[in-house]
Chain A
């Protein structure tokens, strides 16, 4: 049998996905071997890493077991800024076939590079992601992630082509056209950010299009921003689209670090390429499996820009039970918050995801929202701006005030904090790359 024709066979097994089922002992061997290689490479080629190893009195030869990774220095986002643009690259530029960059909201962006082999790995992990979510050749897939410097669009694109799906590289924006294409092109699956898709569900309603009756979309891979189980329930019940979570970050490879399988019960990390640790956010020591902490990732096969112990700021925990899908690669719980998203107001820790849950408890669909923190006479104030949709609007001023009060009450029940809720006009909260900026902290700005 010719390997590249396997995809044409009936059934749900795909050769790329075989690695998801590697016996655990074999998987750990592969990880250790690759870890040693990537540490040696970084030590030789990346000055920042070499200096940090020296500062700790470490040499690559000091890593004997996977557990030894915890001795190694961490990397953080500012390291990428400080070495802008190419300071962390481990290969000559002639080997780099692709550059991506993150949208820097302040100052310079961060730049990441890929060799031809890195591109192949990226494609493979996306293919494994898509197979795990039930995508296959024959699917017509509308890719609504932004194309361009952002890793989302082109990242998914490579894997979609890899599995032989029909890709519609539509990128984000122009919601009515998105719905039109979905309908007219017979789209069966989609990729994009969950908040944008929720917006599309509402757009379709306005256009008089019933997702379940008029469209053929059956599954969606959603990521690039933290989202909650409540959002998944809403997406699935309102649109009939089975919603799978995908995890990744540009600093590591882009989307494709981990993904949900058909069980939708945590994200499998593609452990043959990424070594995951979970550490205590304060002590940075590894936490026992099942305990929440910050996810730290080491790339095991990246050539252009290997990253050792990158602090993702994403809060999660390892799932301790084996997954019923049979995959052996470990799972993390879905990430619904980031340690740097957390804010402290009047001594209380609050995550934007809590506000999201509060809003969803009040309204069936998640409205666009923004949290604005200000300080008045030394006291922190939390304002939550909520965009009104046509469905929420009532001609009765009293009913609108009631809605406002219900939002406030729900937020207070969940966070224990009083929030000033303001109702905002649709579209008045700025969006970028389909991601909404959830938190504006103006507490240290002069009034």
Chain B
């Protein structure tokens, strides 16, 4: 259920993001999705890739500060109110979302990558509510 997410520290300077992406490209790492959060003069780039191990090794070797954590990939009903309904369920069970971003997939399903304050409780709540939480293997092959 848990998807590995790699977070990389980037200075908010021209060219830093492109240099990092080039590093990953040279190593043949394909990014499934990513989110860049910026806070003034620095930013955190979060990436999800089927090759998390390799991605981490490559960026660490290139000298970046790297950390990682788990996120969930959740299918959202693709209609007005779809996301709201999922969030309502989580809210009822006081599971908080720290941040989320979209996952692009070929099948056209709406999938969100979500970071929770309590991942295990989130899995439990979502599954009981019948909301589709993807396994890594299904996510990257879908």
Contacts and interface: CB of A to CB of B under 8 A. Distances in A.
A416 B39 CA distance: 26
Contacts of A424: 11
Contacts of B64: 425-426
Given A396-B98, A422-B11, 8 more contacts: A388-B65, A395-B44, A397-B44, A401-B40, A423-B9, A423-B41, A425-B11, A426-B65
Interface string A374-398: 0000000000000011101111110
Nearest to B41: A422
A395 to B, nearest CB: 4
Contacts of A389: 65
B7 A395 contact: yes
A237 interface: no
Nearest to A396: B98
A392 B7 CA distance: 12
Given A397-B37, A400-B44, A401-B39, A390 B16 contact: no
Interface string B111-128: 000010000000000000
Contacts of A388: 9, 65
Nearest to A428: B11
A427 interface: yes
Contacts of B66: 390, 393
Interface string A247-291: 000000000000000000000000000000000000000000000
Contacts of A394: 67
Nearest to A425: B11
A401 B41 CA distance: 10
A395 B9 contact: no
Contacts of B9: 388, 393, 400, 423, 425
A425 B41 CA distance: 11
B108 to A, nearest CB: 29
A393 B115 CA distance: 17
A54 interface: no
Interface of A: 206, 388-390, 392-397, 400-401, 422-428
Contacts of B60: 206, 390
Nearest to B66: A390
Interface in B64-83: 64-69
Interface in B32-66: 37, 39-42, 44, 46, 60, 63-66
A425 B16 contact: yes
Secondary structure call for the B interface: strand
Interface of B: 5, 7, 9-11, 16, 37, 39-42, 44, 46, 60, 63-69, 98, 115
19 contacts: A392-B65, A393-B7, A393-B65, A393-B66, A393-B67, A395-B7, A395-B44, A395-B46, A395-B69, A395-B115, A400-B39, A401-B40, A424-B11, A425-B9, A425-B11, A425-B16, A426-B63, A426-B64, A426-B65
A423 B16 CA distance: 14
A24 B134 CA distance: 80
Contacts of A423: 9, 11, 41-42
A390 B67 contact: yes
A390 B5 CA distance: 15
A155 to B, nearest CB: 30
Contacts of B68: 395
A143 to B, nearest CB: 25
A425 B10 contact: yes
Contacts of B40: 401
A395 B11 contact: no
B69 to A, nearest CB: 5
A20 B9 CA distance: 51
Nearest to B20: A425
A426 B41 CA distance: 15
Contacts of B16: 425
A423 to B, nearest CB: 5
A397 B43 CA distance: 8
A390 B65 contact: yes
B101 to A, nearest CB: 13
Contacts of B69: 395
A428 B44 CA distance: 16
A313 to B, nearest CB: 33
Contacts of B44: 395, 397, 400
Nearest to B38: A397
Nearest to A401: B39
B23 to A, nearest CB: 12
A10 to B, nearest CB: 47
A342 B44 CA distance: 35
Please list the 10 inter-chain residue pairs (A to B) with the smallest Cβ-Cβ separation, ordered nearest first: A395-B7, A393-B67, A388-B65, A427-B63, A393-B65, A397-B39, A423-B42, A395-B69, A388-B9, A390-B65
A423 B37 CA distance: 15
A395 B4 CA distance: 12
A394 B42 CA distance: 13
A422 B67 contact: no
